[in-house]
């Protein structure tokens, strides 16, 4: 591992050392109660469990409540010392063993029946924790073992949302700012776009969502998460298209689906916003999109993805426009 990668990892684990980030996650009832129901459905008495990135231990506590005989709660963050106190405070010290380290590097006495992890960052891929989970799976999961989540889908939806476009999109530059013309800034921002996490519950979907990728957490390799996808959208509602919202759907168990779509209850992940130039679309217009996710090509932060979007806007068989955007993933 290079000095830069070590520095990024150190900062990453340090970011989970304080109380506030754990308050954010534990306050997300959609997330936390969903995991609780899935673990209760999957973990049976006597099973062994590996909790990758345990944080304050809530997933391990759910597994202990479900009857697991042994749980390895692994984390490299300094929060683990507090987690040990939490384990004792809840009377689980005979069942839950806190392990300081990276899940794919630690040694366990035997392979486990279940691996559980809340590894998803913004638009799932940010933080790239899935890489650690995949390596831990290959090392520690029994043949026929279970992963929580078992699979994940990543989806994209073309939307109209005037407020997003003005406050977090290219529309900020289109109106006069303090009496001055700032429209030349549009091209500057297009050259350095971010994909931020936003509350997209007021967005108007101009077409049905399209699935970019579905990954099998039990069988698929790390490379499957860094996807390269082609999707089509047919506009079903005329309007002004301002960009795309990205969301993921995690199948935590056969009976529990965790969705971050804009038309479902809001989670702390919210939705990922991919702004583009505004365009007036009509019913029947189609957009062909080539969308791919890659590690940060600058190499400065391998935990932050970069998304490349190339597309065509077609009306009545004619190509109206071709476009290309690059959006940098963010932690917020």
Catalogue the active-site residues.
Answer: 118, 127
* Residue found under tokens 């899940």: 103
CA–CA separation, 85 and 72 (whole Å): 15
> Which of these, 46, 86, 40, 41, lies nearest to 66 by C-alpha position?
40
The SS3 of residue 176 is coil
Instruction: Dig out the tokens for 115 from the structure.
Output: 């691996």
CA–CA separation, 177 and 190 (whole Å): 19
Phi, then psi, of 254 in degrees rounded to 5: -55, -25
Instruction: Dig out the tokens for 36 from the structure.
Output: 């609780």
- Kindly report the number of other CB atoms within 10 A of residue 229's CB atom: 15
- Kindly report the number of other CB atoms within 10 A of residue 85's CB atom: 12
CA–CA separation, 149 and 38 (whole Å): 9
Edge-to-edge strand list for the sheet holding 96-100: 96-100, 70-75, 48-52, 112-116, 141-148
CA–CA separation, 213 and 250 (whole Å): 12
Q: Is the dihedral of CA 129, 134, 137, 143 positive or negative?
A: positive
Using a CB cutoff of 8 Å and minimum separation of 24, what contacts does 214-220 make? Answer: 214/151, 214/152, 214/153, 215/151, 215/152, 215/153, 216/150, 216/151, 217/133, 217/137, 217/147, 217/149, 217/150, 217/151, 217/152, 218/137, 218/141, 218/145, 218/146, 218/147, 218/150
CA angle 60–331–255, rounded 5-degree value: 40
């Amino acid at each position: 591992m290079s000095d830069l990668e070590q520095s990024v990892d150190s900062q990453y684990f340090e970011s989970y050392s304080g109380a506030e980030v754990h308050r954010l996650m534990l306050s997300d009832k959609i997330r936390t109660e969903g995991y609780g129901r899935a673990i209760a459905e999957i973990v049976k008495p006597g099973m062994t469990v590996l909790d990758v990135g345990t944080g304050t231990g809530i997933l391990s506590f759910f597994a202990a409540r479900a009857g697991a005989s042994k749980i390895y709660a692994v984390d490299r963050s300094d929060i683990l010392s507090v987690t040990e106190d939490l384990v004792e405070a809840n009377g689980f010290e005979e069942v839950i063993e806190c392990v300081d380290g990276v899940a794919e590097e630690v040694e366990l006495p035997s392979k486990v029946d279940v691996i559980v992890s809340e590894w998803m960052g913004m638009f799932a891929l940010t933080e790239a924790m899935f890489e650690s989970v995949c390596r831990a799976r290959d090392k520690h999961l029994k043949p026929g073992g279970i992963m929580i989540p078992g699979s994940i889908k990543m989806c994209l939806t073309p939307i109209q949302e005037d407020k997003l476009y003005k406050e977090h999109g290219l529309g900020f530059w289109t109106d006069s700012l303090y009496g001055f013309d700032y429209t030349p800034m549009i091209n500057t921002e297009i050259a350095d776009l971010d994909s931020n996490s936003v509350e997209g519950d007021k967005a108007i979907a101009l077409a049905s969502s399209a699935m970019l990728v579905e990954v099998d957490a039990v069988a698929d390799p790390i490379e499957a998460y860094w996807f390269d996808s082609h999707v089509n959208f047919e506009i079903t509602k005329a309007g002004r298209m301002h960009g795309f919202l990205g969301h993921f759907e995690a199948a935590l168990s056969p009976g529990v689906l965790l969705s971050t779509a804009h038309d479902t209850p809001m989670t702390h992940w919210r939705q990922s916003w991919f702004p583009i130039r505004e365009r007036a679309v009509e019913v029947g217009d189609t957009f062909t999109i080539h969308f791919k996710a890659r590690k940060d090509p600058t190499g400065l932060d391998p935990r932050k993805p970069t998304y490349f979007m190339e597309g065509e806007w077609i009306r009545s068989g004619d190509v109206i426009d071709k476009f290309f955007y690059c959006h940098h993933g963010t932690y917020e």
